[in-house]
Amino acid sequence: MPEIKVTPLGAGQDVGRSCILVSIAGKNVMLDCGMHMGYNDDRRFPDFSYITQNGRLTDFLDCVIISHFHLDHCGALPYFSEMVGYDGPIYMTHPTKAICPILLEDYRKITVDKKGETNFFTSQMIKDCMKKVVAVHLHQTVQVDEELEIKAYYAGHVLGAAMFQIKVGCESVVYTGDYNMTPDRHLGAAWIDKCRPDLLISESTYATTIRDSKRCRERDFLKKVHETVERGGKVLIPVFALGRAQELCILLETFWERMNLKAPIYFSTGLTEKANHYYKLFITWTNQKIRKTFVQRNMFEFKHIKAFDRAFADNPGPMVVFATPGMLHAGQSLQIFRKWAGNEKNMVIMPGYCVQGTVGHKILSGQRKLEMEGRQILEVKMQVEYMSFSAHADAKGIMQLIRQAEPRNVLLVHGEAKKMEFLKQKIEQEFHVSCYMPANGETTTILTNPCIPVDISLGLLKREAAIGPLPDAKKPKLMHGTLLMKDNSFRLVSPEQALKELGLAEHQLRFTCRVHIQDPRKEHETVLRVYNHLKGILKDYSVQHLPDGSITVESILIQATAHSEDQGTKVLLVSWTYQDEELGSYLTSLLKKGLPQST
């Protein structure tokens, strides 16, 4: 039986370090190549030695696919391609290809320059790695080699995020990456056609959550910002440079526009400047509203949002500032926070989850006195708000995607084991498909039932299709022909042609059967009786009484002779060819029942 094997090297019952190995019909594909935020040792990268102990990775992998630019999906790429060594193709969408190196470079800088790590990939390595990348468009079918093809679908989540369909012959796997089923202010919803893959590998970050409408969240967020600004307070929004930051910018920008507000909005520079540039470029990857209005005005050319300068933080009057990083653990956002924390008119809004130990986490859990470096105590008087703006599909969204794609099997990754368990049970219950959730390093094998294409000559097809009712795509149809397996190809041909091609002489197979009938009359009378009987029953067939005393039903021959011993018993000889087997056996059984009583 053909099978698909899936082994997560990362993200199996876990979030972070996404890296999944898939072997399908003899092809090996690696899906994502991420790093783990939580570790600083070897565990931060997937264990590539699993793929091969000795020997080059290129020989074992046919291609690598990166779903989007988040570091937990692409962070290990330069390490993998340059330091471990991989020269095969790497596929990602255009925006991912554009933004990915910026993030990698930033990541490198933090690790090497700030933390002083050695034995890490270099800028040059990032560049070399990006040279191996092949960019793909949405819905473009890319032939990796003769048999393997991949196709990208829109996934929402972040700019350029894509779901990938990997197809070999008629076996296929869909990998979702991270996706979002509800549209937001700058991105659309994930969409896939009814591609009916053998396996759907889905993320399951929010496996046990059904989220509230995004409108309530947006409204709350805007109301809070608006109120604070009207009071003359300052609003600090710590964000990570890409993704949610743009979402919030668009949200505030349109709100400012709508409400005709004048308070300045600032965005701390750096990464974002560059990234915003790409957002402007890849307008086709955004949602309907932005796509439709960009001719008048590109939504990412912010009118109200200006670059931030360190000195602005001390300016009087209301303002809104987006500052990195998002968890208030270092950098500009922390500096501004320290300046503004003392005033109860000000507000800080945390738009995402904060890791334990960061200032963000502390203030969210209600701590009002913070100990800063140098024994300094910072009293937090400003308001602290939490607003979740996450772009993952919730349980309903995951189910919706499964419904759209109609897979035969589902495999969950990128989530916590306990939550996956629940979703797995739900999926099996609702869709009656089997669902898997392998841990890292654990291999799941899925048996497939691939269809085998067979060539058929048009003449034969038409001839066979003409028999019986109209062909129906949804019902299997019985056809007569000869299956020729030659040179690794299958062909269905008519028997005559098959004989000709194979150079074989045609043999005829005839069945002959004797039926004994008790009939005291003369032979020809018996024959006549049989003839009348058959004629009466088989109305649709041509039944003929030949002058030589035999009967033919279509091509079946019936002859009657008297039994050599018992004249009262007549022996009917029924003879038919192999092709007429059905009718022949029917006739025999009919005759065996005997003739009706003569009238």
Partner 1 sequence: MAAHLKKRVYEEFTKVVQQQHEDLSTKKLRLTKPSKSAALHVDLCKATSPADALQYLLQFARKPVEVESVEGVVRILLEHYYKENDASVRLKIASLLGLLSKTAGFSPDCIMDDAINTLQNEKSHQVLAQLLDTLLVIGTKLPENPSVRMRLVEVACKHLTDSSHGVRNKCLQLIGCLGPVEKGVAKEAENQAAKDVQKIIGDHFNDQDPRVRTAAIKAMLQLHERGLKLHQAIYSQACKLLADDYEQVRSAAVQLIWVLSQLYPESIVPIPSSNEEIRLVDDAFGKICHMVSDGSWVVRVQAAKLLGSMQQVSSHFLEQTLDKKLMSDLRRKRTAHERAKELYSSGEFSSGRKWGDDAPKEEIDTGAVNLIESGACGAFVHGLEDEMYEVRIAAVEALCMLAQSSPSFAEKCLDFLVDMFNDEIEEVRLQSIHTMRKISNNITLREDQLDTVLAVLEDSSRDIREALHELLCCTNVSTKEGIHLALVELLKNLTKYPTDRESIWKCLKFLGSRHPTLVLPLVPELLSTHPFFDTPEPDMDDPAYIAVLVLIFNAAKSCPTMPALFSDHTFRHYAYLRDSLSHLVPPLRLPGRKLVSSAVSPSITPHEDPSQQFLHQSLERVYSFQHLDPQGIQELLEFTIRDLQRLGELQSELAGMADFTATYLQWQLLLIKALQEKLWNVAAPLYLKQNALASAASKQILEETYKMEFMYSGVESRQVVIIHHMRLQAKALQLIVTARTTRGVEPLFGMCEKFLQEVDSFQRCFISELPHMQGSFVDKLLDLMPRLVTSKPSEVVKILQTTLRQSTFLHLPLPEQLHRATANIIEPTGESDNPLRFTSGLVVALDVDATLEHVQDPQGTVKVQVLYPDGQAQLIHPKPADFRNPGPGRHRLITQVYLSHTAWTEPCQIEVRLLLAYNSNKSKASTRIPKSTWNESLEALPPSENGIEGTIPFSKPVKVYIMPKPARR
Site for partner 1, rule CB under 8 A:
182-183, 185, 188-189, 191-194, 208-220, 222-223, 226, 254, 257-260, 287-289, 350, 364-366, 383-386, 395-396, 399-400, 403-404, 419, 422, 425-426, 430, 465, 470-474
Nearer residue to partner 1 within complex by CB, 77 or 159: 159
Q: Whole-number minimum distance, CB 576 to partner 1, in Å?
A: 32
Nearer residue to partner 1 within complex by CB, 209 or 552: 209
What are the catalytic residues?
A: 203
Q: Is 406 left (phi over 0), alpha (psi -120 to 50) or beta?
A: left
Nearer residue to partner 1 within complex by CB, 247 or 580: 247
Nearer residue to partner 1 within complex by CB, 156 or 325: 156
Q: Whole-number minimum distance, CB 395 to partner 1, in Å?
A: 6
String of DSSP letters for 118-179: -S---HHHHHHHHHTEEEE-BT-EEESSSSEEEEEEE--TTTT-EEEEEEETTEEEEE--S-
| Cα distance between residue 361 and residue 367, in whole Å | 9
| Cα distance between residue 391 and residue 325, in whole Å | 18
Residue that is written with structure tokens 């190809």 in the block: 489
Residue 469: C-alpha distances to residues 458, 464, 474, 477, 554 (Å): 18, 11, 13, 10, 23
| Cα distance between residue 274 and residue 261, in whole Å | 27
Do residues 155 and 180 touch, judged by C-beta distance below 8 A? yes
Q: Whole-number minimum distance, CB 477 to partner 1, in Å?
A: 11
Q: Whole-number minimum distance, CB 162 to partner 1, in Å?
A: 16
| Cα distance between residue 502 and residue 505, in whole Å | 9
Nearer residue to partner 1 within complex by CB, 305 or 557: 305
Q: Between 395-405 and 417-431, two packed helices, what is the crossing angle to 10 degrees?
A: 40
Q: Reduced to 3 states, what is the DSSP secondary structure of residue 241?
A: coil
Nearer residue to partner 1 within complex by CB, 127 or 426: 426
Parallel, antiparallel, or unpaired for β 444-447 and 482-486? unpaired
Nearer residue to partner 1 within complex by CB, 428 or 501: 428
Closest CA to 68 of 35, 105, 93: 93
Instruction: Retrieve residue 43's tokens.
Output: 């565990």
Q: Whole-number minimum distance, CB 70 to partner 1, in Å?
A: 22
